[in-house]
Structures are given as structure tokens and as C-alpha cells.
Amino acid sequence: MQVKKILVIGAGPAGMMAAITAKKNNKDAKVQILEHGTEAGKKILVTGNGRCNFTNAVMSAGQYPKECQGFVHSVLNQFSSENLKAFFMQIGLPYKERNGYFYPRSDSALAVRDALAAEVKRLGIWILDGFETESITCTATNVASGERFVVRGTQNAEAKTLYCDACILACGSSAAPKTGSDGSGFKLARGLGLKVKKPVPALTPLELDSAYKKIYETWAGVRSNGRVAVIVDNEELYADSGELQFANYGISGIPVFQISRYASRALDKHRDVRIRLNLLEEADDAWLQQFMSFAERRGGCTIPEFCAGLLNQKLTKALCRFLSVPIDRPIRKLPAETLEDFLKALKNLEFIVTGSKGVEQCQVMSGGIKHNEINAQTMEAKSIKGLFVCGELIDVDGPCGGYNLQWAFSSGFVAGRSAAGVKE
């Protein structure tokens, strides 16, 4: 059967890319996007702190979690970082590179959203906004209209039924609900019989043991470079280095975001989760000994005063309290080993992780439709001909740095191209 109508559920980056690609590959098909919000691409506006880091110079499947690398590799091979940059140029969106991160030249996420929306409009793709998709039914035999899928939902409290030959799920996850994400795509997927791995927050700040709340209040607002590792049941699973941001609930910053998926997954299984901080990553034993040798000349200083050039004093005072080190006594009046023990402890600090900031503050979710349910060459569900899935709805999540948007665009491209050529 010739594809006559394609419905895309979701007007995010994956959905708009899928719709654009489908229409370009099948100009005779009617392509329509169903968006439950009132604004297409709203989530794009908050990416990259409003600047939209959409891809990375080091774009490979190896940057994604091990369990999905083979799947991601197949998709990226079909629509790479270079393909994405060329696409943006074609729709009037020049870009620039900064430290391996690619942004629109205007540094505006709004420009990305608007360029995609303009291309959707130019191609004659209709966005039906305010449409709440409630169910999708697939029939092996043609329904009255001759189409395979029946999509039921409501718009302005009015029940509506739509039909299509091919359906693309691009609903996103439940991350960042203020942008319109609500996780409804997972319900639709389960209703179609697809298996869903429980989604948990990723790229999110972590909450630490509330027993030390006073300490967190002391270090709140401080930024400091360091290494952070996630420890699950005494095993280090993943680590990253960079600028850490200390908060009154615990800790944030890009390195924390990078390890958070592992912490969230382990916490969901009620395992023991800790973080290990090294705030003097570059300091070896010889450097520490040299630094400590100056303590004899400055023995009248307290430890926070002596370490003022090493760490922010608010952070030093907080860690002194955490390690039960006096903060108001001169170094010369402390036991000889106190300063050395304190400095060495800064390289091996452990805190219990009790949670994350959840869907409200996470950038993506880890989990979703199991990727082994999807054909990586087409993004078609293996069990349902004509049903395609793309974007964050699948259990693929990448680190910070443009990897999640690249995944959205690449998987959307493959899904759209494949949906345009579905044959009975």
C-alpha cells in the first residue's frame, strides 16, 4: 500500500525532524504532527542554557552508555554530526564551534526552534496543537478509511479520531515537565505492547545525606574544580572531572550530571550509592608535601586561612566541619598530622547519595522503550509494521555536550525517512 498519511506524535526536535524528513522523502504524503502543548519545540529553548548545543566534535556511539552503543552506532551512521550541520545550513541556520561544542551562530536556542518550525511550515506540514493523544490502535486489516492506525484523542475537550498509514512516536519523556514533557508516550508505547525500561532522572543534580544539611548550607553557591565518581555497593561505576557546583541540598555541575544516570538507576534498586570527590586531582604527594612545608611559616593561620589560595574559604570551612577539623585554631596549636590528614582527605571525600532533583530539574530520562524492540536501520518497531519510534522515548541517553539533541535529530531523520517509504 502506498503511504498516504503519516502522523507524528510530538513536535519536539525528534518529531519535527521526522516530519520534515518524511515529507521530503514522500512529497505526495500528508504529514501531520500532533502536539499536546501549544508551542512546538519548547524543550529546545532550554537546551545549552538557552544557546542550544546541538552536537559535538567527538560524536560517536562510544560516548553513550555501553548497553546501547551498537544501536546508536547504526543510527548515527545514517545521519551523522556532519549531516546535521549541513541540514542546519540548508534551513538557514549557520553554526559555530566552541571547545568542540556546536551552537547556532546566534547563540540562540530560539533560532533553532524557529528554523525547524519554518521548515515544517514551508513543507506544508500541519501541526495540530493542543491535541492529547489517548490511544493508538493498530489493525492488521484496513479500517474503513483504508489506513492502518487509529489515533484517538481530544482537542479542546472534543473527542477526535484520526487515521494514518504510518505513525511515528516522538513524544519525549517526562524530563523537564515545564516544557510540556509528561511521559505520556510511555503509556502509548505500553498500550501498543512495547516493553518499556523504567525511566529514571539523568543529567540531574544529586541530593546528599540530609544529616549534613548544615554543611551543605555552608558551601552553597561555591564552584570548584574536581573529580566526582559514583560508587555503588563499594564499586566505582563512572567518574568525570570539571567544575562542581555545591548547593544547599548536595551537589551539581556537569560532572555530576554525567554520573547521575548511574546513581539514579542504583537508587531505584535501593542500592548503596555514594559519591567520591577529589578536590585536589592535580596534586600529587610531592606537591602536597611542598605545600605543607609552608605551614611552619604561617603557623598562626587557621586551616581555612592557610588554604585560602587552594579552595574557596566557604568550602574549606564546610569540609573542616565534615571532617571534624577545628576551623578557628592556629595550625601550630593543632596536632602535627592534622593539616596533612585534612589535605589528603580532600582527595578522597565520600558522601551518601539519597536522591536526585528528579524530573523537575533533570535534562533527560534514562530508560524508555527498550531499544531491542526497535530496528536500528529503520526505527520501526519490530513487532508492529508502520510504527516508528525516535528521540528520548527510547532507552538511549547521552552525556552533556550535544549528544542527546544529536540522538533526537538522527533518530528522527531515520524514522521519518523510513516512514515515508513503508510498503504493505
Identify whether residues 235 and 310 lie together within a single domain.
yes
Query: pLDDT digit string (tens) for 121-163?
Result: 999 999 999 999 999 999 865 544 557 899 999 998 999 999 9
Q: What are phi and psi of 382, to 5 degrees?
A: -65, -30
- Give Dmax over CA atoms of the chain in angstroms: 90
Q: 388 pLDDT exceeds 70? A: yes
- Higher pLDDT pick, 181 / 390: 390
Residue 132 has φ and ψ, to the nearest 5°, of: -95, 105
Q: Beta strand pairing status for 206-208 and 349-356?
A: antiparallel
Checking if the pLDDT of 387 tops 80, the result is yes
Task: Classify burial at 94, counting beta carbons within 10 Å of its beta carbon; exposed 0-12, middle 13-18, buried 19 or more.
Answer: exposed
> Which of 180-189, 191-200, 371-380 comes out lowest in average pLDDT?
180-189
Q: Are residues 311 and 410 in the same domain?
A: no
- Per-residue model confidence (pLDDT) at position 298: 82
Q: Give the pLDDT score at 140.
A: 62
Inter-CA distances, 414 with 64, 96, 354, Å: 18, 25, 39
Residue 322 inside a domain? The answer is yes
Domain shared by 196 and 229, yes or no = no
Domains in the chain, number: 2
Q: Tens digit of pLDDT for each residue in 287-322?
A: 999 998 888 788 799 999 999 999 999 999 999 999
The pLDDT of residue 178 is: 86
pLDDT of residue 294: 87
The pLDDT of residue 177: 87
The cell for 289 is 608535601
User: How far apart, in whole angstroms, are the C-alpha atoms of residue 349 and residue 342?
Assistant: 10
361 in a structural domain: no
The model's confidence at residue 170, banded by pLDDT at 50, 70 and 90, is: very high
Note down the domain range covering 305. Answer: 206-356
pLDDT on residue 297: 82
Same domain, 332 and 391: no
Question: Quick one: which of 383, 382, 411, 415 has its CA closest to 396?
Answer: 411
HEC string for the chain: CCCCEEEEECCCHHHHHHHHHHHHHCCCCEEEEEECCCCCCHHHHHHHHHCCCCEECCCCHHHCCHHHHHHHHHHHHHCCHHHHHHHHHHCCCCEEEECCEEEECCCCHHHHHHHHHHHHHHCCCEEEECEEEEEEEECCCCCCCCCCEEEEEEECCEEEEEEECEEEECCCCCCCHHHCCCCHHHHHHHHCCCCEEEEEEECCCEEECHHHHHHHHHHCCCEEEEEEEEEECCEEEEEEEEEEEEECCEEECHHHHHHHHHHHHHHHCCCCEEEEEECCCCCCHHHHHHHHHHHHCCCCCCHHHHCCCCCCHHHHHHHHHHCCCCCCCCHHHCCCCHHHHHHHHCCCEEEEEEEECHHHHCCEEEEEECHHHEECCCCEECCCCCEEECHHHECCCCCCCCHHHHHHHHHHHHHHHHHHCCCC
The predicted pLDDT at position 1 comes to 46
Q: Are residues 341 and 416 in the same domain?
A: no
Task: Tally the C-alpha atoms within 13 A of residue 54's C-alpha that lie toward its C-beta.
Answer: 33
Instruction: Name which of 394, 357, 391 is nearest 374 in CA terms.
Output: 394
Residues 274 and 160 in one domain: no
Does 194 lie in the same domain as 105?
Answer: yes
Which residue has 596534586 as its cell numbers?
283
Strand order in the sheet with 131-138: 131-138, 149-155, 158-164
**Within 13 Å and on the Cβ side, how many CA atoms surround 359?**
14
Q: What is the pLDDT of residues 227-273, one digit of tens each?
A: 999 999 999 999 999 999 999 999 999 999 999 999 999 999 999 99
Q: The C-alpha cell of 15 is what?
A: 518529531
Cα–Cα distance between 183 and 174 in angstroms, integer?
A: 4
Q: Are 364 and 177 in contact (CB under 8 A)?
A: no
* Shared domain check, 57 and 190: yes
Do 70 and 154 belong to one domain?
A: yes
The answer to whether 209 and 351 are in contact (CB under 8 A) is yes
pLDDT > 70? residue 30? yes
- Give dist(CA 225, CA 356) in Å, integer: 21
Indicate whether 196 and 109 sit together in one domain: yes
In a shared domain, residues 138 and 177: yes
- Bridge partners (DSSP) of residue 232 are 235, 273
pLDDT at 424 over 50: no
Residue 330 has pLDDT above 60, yes or no: yes
Q: Are 18 and 119 in contact (CB under 8 A)?
A: no
Average pLDDT in the 18-45 region?
Answer: 95
Yes or no: say if 8 and 15 are a contact pair by the CB < 8 Å rule: yes
Q: What is the CATH number of the domain that holds 33?
A: 3.50.50.60
Phi, psi of 318 (to 5 degrees): -65, -40
Do 148 and 13 share a structural domain?
Answer: yes
- Side chain identity at residue 156, one-letter code: N
Residue 201: per-residue pLDDT: 96
Poorest-confidence range of 98-102, 213-217, 291-295, 400-404?
Answer: 291-295
The answer, yes or no, to whether residue 2 has pLDDT greater than 70, is no
Q: pLDDT of 49-94, one tens digit each?
A: 899 999 999 999 999 999 999 999 999 999 999 999 999 999 999 9
Q: What is the mean pLDDT of the chain?
A: 94
For the ranges 173-177, 318-322, 372-376, the lowest mean pLDDT is seen at: 173-177
Distance CA 330, CA 302 (A): 4
Domain boundary among 356, 380, 410: 356
Decide if 167 is inside a domain. Answer: yes
Q: Are 414 and 379 in contact (CB under 8 A)?
A: yes
